[in-house]
Amino acid sequence: MDCTDYSFREVLAGCLTSDEFRETLMKALKVGCFCTPSFHSYRDVPRIYEYDSTGLNIESRVLKLWNWHFTLSMEVVRLPGVLPPRCPEKVPVVKDEKTGTFYRADCLLKQFCFEKLEKASSLNAEKAAEFNQLLRNLYTLSEEELGKHIKDYGITAPDTQNTLSIPFFVKWSVQTPICAPPFQFGPYMRPRYEQDKFEDLTRLFEENDCSFPVATCHIGQSFEEEISPSRGLVIRHEFSVAEIQHFVDPKDTTHGKFRAVAEVETFMFPREQQKYGQSAIKIVLDQAVSKGIVDNMTLAYYIGKAFLFLTCLGIDKDHLRFRQRFRSEMAPYAVDCWVAEIECSSGWIECVDIAYSPEYDSQARAVKSVVALMDNEKLTKTKEEEKSGLALIDNEKLTETTEEEEKNGVVLNDNEKLSETREEEDEIEFALHDNGTFIETIAAREPTVAPNEKELGHAFEGNQKIVIESLLAMSKEEALLMKDDLASEGESAFLVRTWGKTVTIKDNMVNISVKRTRERERVFRPSVIEPSFCIERIIHCLFEHSLYMRPSKAGDERVSVFRFPPLVAPIECAVFSMREKKPNHESARLIRRSLTDAGVSYRNFIAGNTTGKEYAEADELGVPFAIIVDSNVDVSIRDRDSGDKVRVSVGEAASVVKGLIDGHKTWSCICSSF
């Protein structure tokens, strides 16, 4: 079979080798200035690539689209990242005693435990409980404890079965040379921006009127000590990440905007299909939630948003799937995790990780960062004099208020308990047992003084106003003391300072009440959904899904073309000025100025009598539209993918291209209109 376009689909079909396609791709990327080898003048540097000018434009437009897709449309708070003064994460490693190959000690032990638990029929209950307990405590084990378990279980190197060394911890982060305070030990480049956002949770919770959900996002560079950064843009020391932390109440994991993605249909690869060697299933997200394939609605919402984002970029939806991670692949505190995998010439590449972690996740991270993440959700309940029982508002706020009138003669204090049936208390404790604990506080508020103007008028006549003003100006202590005297003796001596006299206030002249409030705070640790997008991997897949080869007009060679959507194309429009037609240069300047005013990026090409070579150069850059200035009256607009052209006036050219790029118009509509 003749390869007609050299696309990654032909690699998957078996008519082109992956090496041939990757060689073609890297050549096209270098010609178009998308990426270049880093420090290529130094021979001892491994094959590490970085973006060139065109690649940087692609990255910035992808991040701009991500920012609109998630930050603006979802009203997510964007926060910056900072340099932590301590290494936020260390990992235990072991070494093959003979080959020197390094392995993660905790991963080896975790894999061993899961393999044993999968053969539960051959395990006794005591041994199964031991493995489960070990998995729960895996990330808290010391070097000695890890080494003891590896030795006791006889765990060896996976590849060679050789003996492993004693475990030791290494810093997963890249350290910087800054040593000034407060970085006496040198700050570290953040491997994941999410790590410091848990420390911001309390502040964000308060800014959000003490309610959930709360979502924050961050975009930036991350750094990790990769052992083998040799797969181009897929594995690197430095990479761009876009992450979200969506905190929710563990009682309520619904999402108000789920209807917008409920009908999204995509390939999903649950654990059961993977375990029994079956294929991914195509399913609507609404059904995936109702059937229990996806843990909760908010998690499914982010799966749908990730699908829409990736397909909007130009990822082929038929080569995109969401695979559910096995328990052995997830962190111990996660209960469900889906990873967006994109099929390319080298196989399936993990690009987006969407994990759901219950309240244990926040608890574990809080211990590490020495910051309490217990957010107090105040529950208020109100009891009126003529009503009894509890009024639950939104299942969250419970308030109880009682007023003690002068007639009962009771002075309230902070230690007094409000009467409530045991049945009601049991009912509340049961309802909230799994979602937090109650902290109860009883407080006596400021006393309320209500003078009886009629009785005071009879007693003091013309001085009534002075006495009333003095009563209302009493301090809390004076009011409580008068309340005691009125309750015990029926009258109280009162100094009217503005009058300079001491008068007798009787119990029918003033009413003093004290409002006592019992507040219950529901203390819980929020659950979190964490979508994490590796921008470099997504862009690499975009390159593969967009590249194809087509014959040149001469037919003697192939031209590489990147089929980028206009939203992410590095250059949105090409302007071709004919070298031999100088009178048209003024029209070209007018068009370029109009494109700039419309916010359309362009590149100017000077063409000869024919424009075939310049067309090929623009197609190699993935420019979706081109304006050919060959007249002072009207010009041609060319579509990259079809090669068709339409004639429009000079004044309309920029607005037509702007409408095509923004998606307000389609090429077929333009062809029918002009």
Do 653 and 616 belong to one domain?
Answer: yes
CATH no. for residue 340? 3.30.930.10
Residue 611 lies in a domain: yes
Question: Does some domain include residue 532?
Answer: no
- pLDDT mean over 595-614: 82
What single-letter amino acid sits at 502? T
Record the tokens describing residue 649, joined without a space. 């006036």
The reported pLDDT for the residue numbered 573 is 94
Residues 383 and 511 placed together within one structural domain of the fold: yes
Distance of alpha carbon 128 from alpha carbon 133, whole angstroms: 9
- Alpha-carbon torsion angle 211, 213, 218, 224, nearest 10: 110
- 374 or 143, which is more confident? 143
In the chain, % of residues over pLDDT 90: 26
Question: Is residue 336 situated within a structural domain?
Answer: yes
Last residue of a domain, one of 169, 186, 205: 169
Neighbours of 321 (CB within 10 A): 22
The alpha carbon of residue 132 and the mean position of all alpha carbons in its chain are separated, in whole angstroms, by: 30
302 lies in some domain: yes
Structure confidence at residue 340 as a pLDDT band (50, 70, 90)? very high
In a domain? residue 557:
no
Specify if 174 maps to a domain. Answer: no
| Residues 116 and 123 sit within 8 Å (Cβ to Cβ) | yes
In a shared domain, residues 347 and 308:
yes
**Would you say residue 27 lies in a domain?**
yes
From 524, 551, 585, the end of a domain falls on 524
For residue range 235-286, list pLDDT tens digits in order. Answer: 555 678 899 989 888 888 899 999 999 999 999 999 988 888 788 999 999 9
Residue 466's φ and ψ, nearest 5 degrees, are: -65, -40
Q: Same domain, yes or no, for 503 and 625?
A: no
Q: What is the pLDDT of residues 466-516, one digit of tens each?
A: 889 899 989 888 888 998 899 898 899 998 888 888 899 998 999 998 877
Q: Are residues 102 and 201 in the same domain?
A: no
Q: Are residues 124 and 41 in the same domain?
A: no
Residues 454 and 398 in one domain: yes
Q: Identify whether 434 is part of a domain.
A: yes
Which residue intervals of 86-142 are DSSP H helices? 105-118, 125-136
DSSP-based three-state secondary structure for 28: helix
Question: What CATH number does the domain containing 577 carry?
Answer: 3.40.50.800
CATH number at residue 159: 3.30.40.230
Please give the residue range of the domain that contains residue 609: 571-673
Supply the pTM of this predicted model.
0.70
Distance, in Å, from the CA atom of 562 to the CA atom of 28, rounded to the nearest integer, reads 9
Q: Which of 524, 550, 581 is the last residue of a domain?
A: 524
| Tally of domains within the chain | 4
Are residues 397 and 511 part of one domain? yes
Segment 414-442, tens digit of pLDDT: 333 333 333 333 333 333 334 455 555 55
pLDDT tens digits along 168-208 = 887 655 555 545 454 444 444 554 545 555 566 777 777 87
Residue 143 shares a structural domain with residue 209: no
Is there a single domain that holds both residue 212 and residue 354?
Answer: yes
Q: Do 483 and 581 have their domain in common?
A: no
Same domain for 258 and 340 = yes
